[in-house]
Amino acid sequence: MSLTQILLVILLAPLASALLTIVFFRRKGSVASVLSVGAAGIVMLFSLYALYFSEVKTLHVSCNWLSLGGLSISMGFHFNQLSALMLLVVSFVGFWIHLFSMGYMADDEARGRYFGGLSFFMFSMLGIVLADNLFMLFIFWELVGFSSYLLIGHYFEKNSAAEAAKKAFLVNRVGDFGFLIGIIWCYWHYGTVDLAELESLLFLNPNLLITGMGLCLLCGVLGKSAQMPLHVWLPDAMEGPTPVSALIHAATMVAAGVYFLCRVYFIFTQDVLMVIAWVGAITAIFAAFSALAQNDIKRILAFSTLSQLGYMVAIFGVGTQAGVAEMLEFGFYAGVAAAMFHLTTHAFFKALLFLGSGSIINACHHEQDIFKMGGLYRRMPWTFLFFTIGVIAISGVPWIGAGFWSKDPILYLALKSNAPIYGILAFSAILTALYMGRLWFIVFFGEAKSESAENAKESSIFMVLPLAVLGLGSTFIGGMVQLYPAGVQQLLEKLPEAHGADHTLMVALSAGFSILGLVGAMLYYKPGASEDRLNKFAPRLFAFLKARLYFDEIYGWYIEKIQQPVAELLGFFDQLFISGLMVRGTAGLTGLVGIFVRATHVGSLHGYVYWFFGGLLLFWALAAGWF
C-alpha cells in the first residue's frame, strides 16, 4: 500500500464506524463499542506501520473538492514530521482511551451514541492532523467542535451538561469567527491556502507577513486550545464522561490549537509571536492558581490542562520568536520542537491522569469531590501506582517522569530567550507540583471520608490495561527521543538541549521546582486532609482563586444584560415598528383589499379555485385573441 492509501484508511475507518453506528447500531451498544474500538485499533496499527515501516516520510497530495470561478477548494494530505508526531499521539493515545471507554461505559444505556460520537471525533481529529490546506483544516476544526458538543452533552438530562455542551460549541465558534476571517484573508492575500506553498513562500519572504492575519488565525487557537480569554469552556466541559475528558479535553482536541500553531509557524510576525507567548504564559500561571482552589478532581485536572497548554503556546511563541530574530544557537525550530514534544508527553500523562481519575470516580460511585475520597491507595493499588506515575510525570521530577524530558527544554529555551516568561513558567512549574501533590495526598492517603470511598474497588482489566500502557509512556520511556519513529527524528533533534554547567543547573532547578511543590503540598495540606487548609485560613484568597478572575461572571453578565435585551428589543422593534406601524398603518389599503375579498367570499374552497381558474382562462383567451 502506498502512504496515500494508508492515510486514507486511517482517516476513513473511524468515519465508517461512526456512520454504521448511527445507521444500524444505535440501540446495540455492545456492537457499537466493538466497532468503534476496532476502528481505533485499525487507525493505531496503520499509523504505527506508516510511521515505523513506511519508506516514504513526507507526502503532499490533494484533489479538487469545489471550484467556483477561480476559487478552488481542495482536500488532501500534507504529511510531514509534524503530522507524523501528531498522528502518533492521536492514534496511540486514542486507541487506549477507546479501550478504557469499553469498561467505563459498560453500563451506559446510550453507548451507541457515545461510541458513534467517539469515532466521529477520531475522524475529525485525524482530518486536522492530515489536512493539506487551511480550508480543509477549518472544516475538520469545526467538526471537532461538533463532536466535542455531542460528547460533552452525553448526559443531556443534566442541565449542567446541556449548558456546558452549548457553551463549548459557542465559545469555539467565537474563536472560529476570527479563524475563518484569517483564512480568507490569507487566501486573497497570498493566492493560496496550501500549507506547503505558504511555507515555501513565507519562510523565504518574511516581509510578506501581516500581523492582523496572524492575530485572526490566533483566534481559532484561543478557542480550540482554551487560552485566555476563551478558556471558559474547558472546565465546564468536564461534564462529559471521563474518557471523553481524557481524549478530547486533555490529550488531543485541545492540543490541536498548539499543533496548528506549529503547522503554520511561518505565518506569524514577531508581534504576533510576542502576543502568543504572553497569552500562553498568562494562561499557564492563571490556570495553575485556579487549580489550587478546586475540589472536583476532574476540574483540577482541567485547569492543569489549561496550564500545560499555556506552556506549549508560550514556548511556541518564545522559541519561534527567538528563531525569527536569529537570537540564538537553537535554530529556527526550537520552539516548534519544544511545544510538540511537550504536547506528546502531555498527551500521555494527562490522558493517564484523567483515566486514573475516571477509574477512581467509577469506583467511588461518581463521587468527584477529592475531600470525600481518601485512603484509596489500599483499595485501588494499580490505579494508585499509575496515577502516581502521572503525578511524577506532570510535576517534572528529574529523569523518571516523561514530563521532565519535555518541560526541561521548554524552561531552558525560555530562560535563554525571554526572562520574564521564564519566570512565569518556572513559577507555574512549582504550582503544578503543588496542586498535583495536593490532589495526590488527599485522594490516596488518610482515611476514607465517605461511604462510596470506603467501598471503592479496583477497576476491571479493560480500564487498568490502558492505564498501564499510558503509564509506561509517561515514564522516562516516553521521554526517550530515540524511541520515536525515524520520521520525526529530525524534528526532535531540534529540541533545545542544555550542556555542561547549564545542564546541571537545569536539572537542579527542575528537581527543585518539583520537590518544592510536592513536599510543600505534603507539609501544607497534610496527607488525607478532610478540608482545604487554604480555604480555612485564607478563605478570601481561596475564593478569589476559585473565581478564576471572574471571567464567567463577566461573560454571563454580557449575555444576560446586554446581548439578550438587545436581541429582544430588536425583536420587539421589528414586530412593533416595521410590522405594526409601517405595514398595518397602511390600513386603507388593507381595507380596500378587504372589501374586494368579501365580495368574492363565497365560503367554499371550490369557489376560490374556480374564481381563480375562471379569471385565468378569461385573460388567456383575451390575450390569445380567441374571441
Residues 262-321 that bind other proteins (CB under 8 A): 262, 265
Q: Choose the binding region for other proteins from 358-366, 412-420, 460-468, 601-609 (rule: CB under 8 A).
A: 601-609
- The answer to whether 47 touches 57, Cβ cutoff 8 Å, is no
- First-to-last alpha carbon distance for the chain, in angstroms, is 78
Binding mask 324-353 for other proteins (x = CB under 8 A): ---------x--x-----------------
Least separation in angstroms between residue 116's CB and other proteins is: 11
Q: Which of 7, 10, 40, 59 binds other proteins (CB under 8 A)?
A: 59
**627 binds other proteins per the rule CB under 8 A:** yes
Report the distance separating Cα 141 and Cα 172, nearest Å: 10
Q: How far is the CB of 139 from other proteins (least distance, A)?
A: 4
**Does 582 participate in binding other proteins (rule CB under 8 A)?**
yes
Return the DSSP state at 158. S
**For residue 74, which phi and psi values (nearest 5 degrees)?**
-120, 165
Among 8, 31, 199, 369, the residue binding other proteins under the rule CB under 8 A is 199
Q: Residue 120: CB partners within 8 Å, gap ≥ 6?
A: 14, 15, 18, 143, 146, 147, 150
- Does position 571 interact with other proteins (CB under 8 A)? The reply is yes
C-beta of 583: minimal distance to other proteins in Å? Answer: 6
Binding to other proteins (CB under 8 A) within 22-51 occurs at none
**Residue 489 binds to other proteins (criterion: CB under 8 A):** no
The reply on whether position 562 binds other proteins by CB under 8 A is no
Q: In this chain, which of 30, 67, 455, 504 binds other proteins, going by CB under 8 A? A: 67
Query: Cα separation of 522 and 525, whole Å?
Result: 6
> Using CB under 8 A, which of the segments 267-275, 305-313, 402-410, 580-588 binds other proteins?
580-588
CA distance 18 to 419: 48
In 3D space, the residue among 52, 57, 53, 43 whose CA is nearest the CA of residue 7 turns out to be 43
Q: What residues numbered 100-129 form the site for other proteins, per CB under 8 A? A: none
x-marked contacts with other proteins along 430-469 as a string, rule CB under 8 A: ----------------------------------------
| Residue 370 DSSP code | G
The only residue of 455, 504, 563, 600 in contact with other proteins, by rule CB under 8 A: 563
The amino acid at 420:
P
Where b means 16+ CB within 10 Å and e means fewer, 344-359 reads bbbbbbbbbbbbbbbb
- Residue 626 within binding range of other proteins, rule CB under 8 A: yes
For position 608 contacting other proteins by CB under 8 A, the verdict is yes
* 513 contacts 396 by C-beta, under 8 angstroms: yes
Which residue lies nearer to other proteins by CB, 202 or 285?
202
Q: Where do we find the cell 493499588? A: 381
Q: Which of 9, 20, 197, 546 binds other proteins (CB under 8 A)?
A: 197
Cell 465559545: give the residue. 171
CA distance 310 to 72: 36
560 lines the binding site for other proteins (CB under 8 A): no
Regarding 419 and contact with other proteins (CB under 8 A), the answer is no
Cβ-contact 320, 308 below 8 angstroms: no
Q: Which of 34, 181, 385, 468 binds other proteins (CB under 8 A)?
A: 181
Amino acid 378 reads R
Range 223-262, binding other proteins (CB under 8 A):
262
Check if the beta carbon of residue 545 is closer than 8 Å to that of residue 290: yes
Min dist CB 236 to other proteins, Å, is: 13
Least distance in angstroms from the C-beta of 59 to other proteins: 5
Helix H, strand E, coil C: the string for 549-602 is: HHHHHHHHHHHHHHHHHHHHHHHHHHHHHHHHHHHCCCHHHHHHHHHHHHHCCC
Among 12, 16, 162, 468, binds other proteins (CB under 8 A): 162
CB neighbourhood size of 507 (10 A): 15
Range in contact with other proteins (rule: CB under 8 A) among 167-175, 316-324, 373-381, 512-520: 167-175
On whether the CB atoms of residues 125 and 144 are closer than 8 A, the answer is yes
Cα separation, 396 vs 113, in Å, equals: 38
**Candidate ranges 86-94, 354-362, 467-475, 619-627; the one touching other proteins (CB under 8 A):** 619-627
Rounded Cα gap, residues 20 and 31, in angstroms: 10
Distances (CA, A) of 30 to 112, 317, 583: 8, 45, 59
Shortest distance in whole angstroms from residue 549 CB to other proteins: 24
Nearer to other proteins, 84 or 509 (CB): 84
The residue (of 57 and 111) whose beta carbon lies closer to other proteins is: 57
Q: Which of 12, 48, 139, 481 binds other proteins (CB under 8 A)?
A: 139
Regarding 530 and contact with other proteins (CB under 8 A), the answer is no
CA gap 329, 508 in Å, rounded: 23
C-beta of 290: minimal distance to other proteins in Å? 26
For other proteins, which is the closer residue by CB, 482 or 604?
Answer: 604
Given 48, 156, 229, 275, the residue binding other proteins (CB under 8 A)? 156
What is the rounded distance in angstroms from the CA atom of residue 132 to the CA atom of residue 316?
A: 21
Which one of 325, 508, 538, 566 is in contact with other proteins (CB under 8 A)? 566
Residue 513 in the binding site for other proteins (CB under 8 A): no
CB 402 within 8 A of CB 393: yes
Closest CA to 133 of 210, 212, 225, 62: 62
The footprint of other proteins on this chain (CB under 8 A) covers a number of residues equal to 106
Least Å from the CB of residue 285 to other proteins = 29
Rounded to a whole number of angstroms, the minimum distance from the CB of residue 619 to other proteins is 10
Q: Looking at beta carbons only, is 455 or 575 nearer to other proteins?
A: 575
Q: Which is nearer to other proteins, 223 or 403 (CB)?
A: 223
